[in-house]
Amino acid sequence: MKKLFLIVALVCFVPALALSQIPLYPPAGYEVESFHLDTLTGQWVANPLGDPSAIAQCWASLEASGSCNKDWHIDVKVHASIAQWSSWHMTGTRWDWFVKKPGDYAADCISGSIASNQNVLVDYHDFGDLVAEVPANSIDDTIEVWYAVSASGTPYPLTSPNWVRSWDLNQAAEWDTLYDSAALHAGITWKLWNRIHVSNCNSACEYNDDAWISLQLLGQKPWIDRTTGLFQRTAP
């Protein structure tokens, strides 16, 4: 029996920003006590002051006062800066083929879903063909691989232009950006199909490809540490 491996490492990756580049908003102020509603209990829960992992923070600034025998007009400003969030799930990030004979094979390897409140860049990195672990033992060291994105429950025909070669998945721009929409807020689902061609020249051995997928939140706020998702604002 020929045993083939496709190993895909999935990471949620976004570039870090230097703290020196992060502006504070507002320019001066102090954090005040705030609460969030626990949807399970219906009770208000305090957000810990000064905790970068808190769900929300509220800050007060622009103190005002006066003393005079006149009427006053006092401006009050309420502002909310909403961070970009994401929630995603993928059914499998390791795919293992077990193939007895030469031929073309396709499988619905990933069913994925993602929800967010702004644009998300989905990027594929280092996808390629399967390469024999011990090349000297194989007449043909490579198993050709294709990918396709579809919501269908069956694979595309072999000649369909929707199939792209493994390395072309890394540049497939039409799959990259999920734009802000009601559908994205509710959650978008898709399938990533994997297709392999096992030839008569592929010797009986193990074949692998290590790749990864990044999810970049394109509308994230500067007061979020993009590598941790924590607050990075502190009192001035």
My answer on whether 49 and 145 are in the same domain is no
Confidence at residue 133, expressed as pLDDT on a 0 to 100 scale: 87
Can you give the residue range of the structural domain that contains 195? Answer: 2-14+87-217
pLDDT value at position 28?
Answer: 67
Query: Taking the C-alpha atoms of 168, 174, 179 and 182 in order, what is their torsion angle to the nearest 10 degrees?
Result: -110
Same domain, residue pair 208 and 107: yes
CA distance 214 to 228: 15
Report the domain count for the chain: 2
Rg (CA), the chain: 26
pLDDT at 18: 37
pTM of the model: 0.76
Same domain, 50 and 127: no
pLDDT number for residue 3 = 38
- Residues 188, 110, single domain; the answer is yes
Is 39 a domain residue?
yes
User: Are 156 and 204 in a shared domain?
Assistant: yes
Q: Flag whether 225 is in a domain.
A: no
Residue 22 counted as domain residue: no
- Please work out, in degrees rounded to the nearest 5, the angle formed at the alpha carbon of residue 103 by the alpha carbons of 98 and 104: 85
Same-domain check for residues 45 and 159: no
Q: What is the pLDDT along the chain (236 residues), one digit of tens a residue?
A: 333 334 333 333 333 333 334 445 566 688 899 999 999 999 999 999 989 999 999 989 888 999 989 999 999 989 898 999 999 999 888 999 999 999 999 998 888 899 999 999 988 899 999 999 876 666 789 999 999 887 667 888 899 988 999 998 888 655 688 999 999 999 998 888 999 999 999 988 899 999 998 899 999 998 899 889 998 865 44
Q: What letter represents residue 79's amino acid?
A: H
Instruction: Tell me if 134 is assigned to some domain.
Output: yes
- Predicted confidence at residue 88, as pLDDT, reads 95
What pLDDT is stored for residue 234 in this prediction?
52
Q: Is residue 231 part of a domain?
A: no
- Structure confidence at residue 21 (pLDDT): 42
Q: Are residues 51 and 118 in the same domain?
A: no
* Shared-domain flag, residues 48 and 94: no
- How many C-alpha atoms does 133 have within 13 Å on its Cβ side? 11
Contacts of 231 (CB under 8 A, 6+ apart): 51, 52, 53, 54, 57, 223, 224, 225
Task: State whether 52 and 158 are in the same domain.
Answer: no
For residues 107 and 209, membership in a common domain is answered with yes
